[in-house]
Amino acid sequence: MSATTITVRLDSDLKSEASDVLNNIGLDLSTSIKLFLRQTVLQRRLPVELRAEDFITEKLGKVLLESKNDYLDRANVPFETADDMFESLDK
């Protein structure tokens, strides 16, 4: 099996923080990447759990919360006619 090199561009703070965490458990960055890739092959999937909340930024979270609150505010308002209801949706 021949060796190959992978080049990855990433934020220097991320590299430093990840290296610190890995060093605390006795691994270096290169070994941890090899472990990740080996587990990817063995499990035939990403060896980590990905959740939607992992990808929600603070700004997006605020927008989603505002939208939810706006929806809830409108959802509890009785309408006299269907036209009133549809008109409120356009606001």
What pLDDT does 52 receive? 66
Query: Is there a single domain that holds both residue 38 and residue 13?
Result: yes
Q: What percent of the chain has pLDDT over 90?
A: 47
* pLDDT tens column, 68-78: 888 777 666 67
Domain that holds residue 12: 1-48
Same domain, 30 and 68: no
Q: Per the structure, how many domains does the chain have?
A: 2
Residues 15 and 2 in one domain: yes
Same domain, 57 and 32: no
Predicted TM-score (pTM) of the model is: 0.54
Domain identity same for 43 and 1? yes
Q: Answer yes or no: is pLDDT of 2 > 80.
A: yes
Question: Do 42 and 65 belong together in one domain?
Answer: no
List own/partner pairs for 66-71 with CB under 8 A and 24 or more apart: none
Q: Are residues 44 and 56 in the same domain?
A: no
| pLDDT tens readout for residues 53-70 | 667 777 887 888 888 888
What confidence tens digit (pLDDT) does each residue in 32-57 have?
Answer: 999 999 999 999 999 988 776 667 77
Same-domain status, 18 and 43? yes
